[in-house]
Amino acid sequence: MSHHSASSIGVIGLGAMGLGTATALLDAGLAVIGCDISAQARETFASRGGRSVATPTELAAECDRVVVMVVNAEQVDAVLFGEQGLVGVMAPGSLILQCATVAPSYAQELGERLAQVNLLMLDAPVSGGVAKARSGELSVMSSGSEAAYAKGQAVLDAMAATVYRLGAEPGAGSSVKLVNQHLAGVHIAAAAEAMALGLRMGLDPDMLYEVIIHSAGNSWMFQNRVPHILKGDYTPLSAVDIFVKDLNIVHQAGRELQLSMPVASSALQQFTAASGAGLGREDDSAVIKVYQRLSAFDLPAANDSDGQG
């Protein structure tokens, strides 16, 4: 399809995270080709000086390293093995960096399937959010072979501040990410539930936030998400439906491993209820509205701009 040698870096999925990462790679002076089915996403990347294509097949021959930053395992499968997928077009020895949050069993199997077609894989889910994607300072929870790491070094250097190397086989990276998502999801639901309790008891929510972040009840998520509640601003930085998805992966892993996880299960039900109430695209802190709709307290209003003191 192309007479260029395959030495560019592809970034498939120009959503918030992928767009940030693709831009960070550009900033690092690397040759990048973006890919997204959405013309609007491609235009945004173009406005940042990036070239992009609509289908994985279009970039496959030019790239020997491809970052796959899509939403779920189904999309990973489609961009790799689908009709317009990478596999069959990319040169042998090329590298796939699998960055989606997927089931560890899927990631492990994916490594085997890619090995069969002579492609290297890093199981490389990321953490850190959109701002850190944009600045090339993500954390990467990764696993894979020495050969895969060697091939991916320049990409990892440009996209991440910290690369955890968690094992020689795909699956370990996704396993650690899954544990992180378990905790992150539970902590968001717990933060919402605790703030609901405080509001229902009539406490001043700003004062309560101030005490808790300096106390043993604090969590990274409490400190990060509760300000959205205090401001009444549910603009999605990460949406409710992301945790419906990720806690369902936790749930499915528990089923496969026969491990009962009632705390994660109760948090999943709260996110499911939020999604069922039409809040799926709101910020994940909107899970507090599940409590508000079932109880006698008011949430801080959006125009209460002094909310955080």
Residues that bind a copy of itself (CB under 8 A): 104, 127-129, 139, 141, 162, 164, 166, 172, 175-176, 178-184, 186-187, 189-191, 193-198, 200-203, 207-208, 210-212, 214-222, 224, 250, 253-254, 257-267, 269-270, 291, 294-296
Alpha carbon distance 157, 24 (integer Å): 10
CB of residue 304 to a copy of itself, shortest distance in Å: 20
Q: What is the DSSP letter of 300?
A: P
CB contact at 8 A, 125 and 141: yes
CB of residue 35 to a copy of itself, shortest distance in Å: 27
State the DSSP H helix or E strand holding residue 268, giving kind and residue range, or none if neither: helix 262-274
Contact partners, residue 144, CB within 8 Å, separation at least 6: 111, 120, 121, 122, 123, 124, 152, 168, 169, 170, 173
CB of residue 62 to a copy of itself, shortest distance in Å: 34
Beta carbon nearer to a copy of itself, 78 or 203: 203
Beta carbon nearer to a copy of itself, 30 or 166: 166
CB of residue 255 to a copy of itself, shortest distance in Å: 12
Beta carbon nearer to a copy of itself, 76 or 188: 188
Which of 216, 170, 171, 162 minimizes the C-alpha distance to 194? 216
Compute CA distances 28 → 70, 135, 268, whole Å.
22, 10, 39
Assess whether 177 carries a catalytic annotation.
yes
Beta carbon nearer to a copy of itself, 42 or 289: 289
Helix axes 16-27, 146-159, angle to 10 degrees: 90
CB of residue 266 to a copy of itself, shortest distance in Å: 4
How many C-beta atoms lie closer than 10 Å to residue 37's C-beta? 16
The two tokens of residue 119 are 């492609």
Beta carbon nearer to a copy of itself, 239 or 261: 261
CB contact at 8 A, 23 and 46: no
Contact partners, residue 286, CB within 8 Å, separation at least 6: 234, 240, 274, 279
CB of residue 86 to a copy of itself, shortest distance in Å: 28
Beta carbon nearer to a copy of itself, 89 or 102: 102
Given the residues 132, 151, 177, 245, select the one marked as catalytic. 177
Alpha carbon distance 259, 251 (integer Å): 9
* Residues that are catalytic: 177
